[in-house]
């Protein structure tokens, strides 16, 4: 059985207090690369081509290991989430993280 992984942008956070204190641009705001509710379907072709530039490289670096596990049919979160085929994760931007839902899809 082949698998795909659906990536959904659940929400973009913004910690203005941290931005004001630490960033060169204290008004950076929320991540502008993604939109809340945005969805991506990843197969092996998309994965090995790093989404053809459709995905932030920093965010991809954070979640790609879980996407790869899903594509190989692995359990993403066995024993941790209600559904082992679903994972909630985020990018590593400390002042404006993006929260993602990953879902393993079989076909």
Give the pLDDT confidence of 24-48 residue by residue, as tens digits: 999 999 999 999 999 999 999 888 8
CA distance 80 to 62: 19
Question: Does the reported pTM lie above 0.85?
Answer: yes
Q: How many domains does the chain have?
A: 1
Residues 73-92 have pLDDT tens digits of 887 777 788 888 899 999 99
For residue 8, what are its two tokens?
């959904």
Q: Domain span at residue 99?
A: 3-22+29-106
With CA atoms as reference, report the closest residue to 97 among 8, 14, 10: 14
């Amino acid at each position: 059985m082949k698998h795909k992984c659906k990536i959904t942008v659940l929400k973009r956070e913004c910690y203005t207090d941290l931005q004001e204190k630490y960033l060169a641009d204290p008004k950076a705001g929320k991540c502008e690369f993604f939109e809340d509710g945005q969805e991506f379907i990843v197969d092996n072709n998309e994965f090995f081509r790093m989404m053809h530039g459709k995905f932030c490289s920093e965010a991809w670096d954070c979640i790609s290991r879980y996407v790869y596990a899903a594509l190989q049919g692995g359990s993403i979160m066995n024993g941790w989430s209600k559904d082992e085929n679903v994972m909630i994760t985020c990018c590593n931007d400390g002042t404006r993280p993006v929260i993602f839902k990953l879902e393993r899809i079989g076909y």
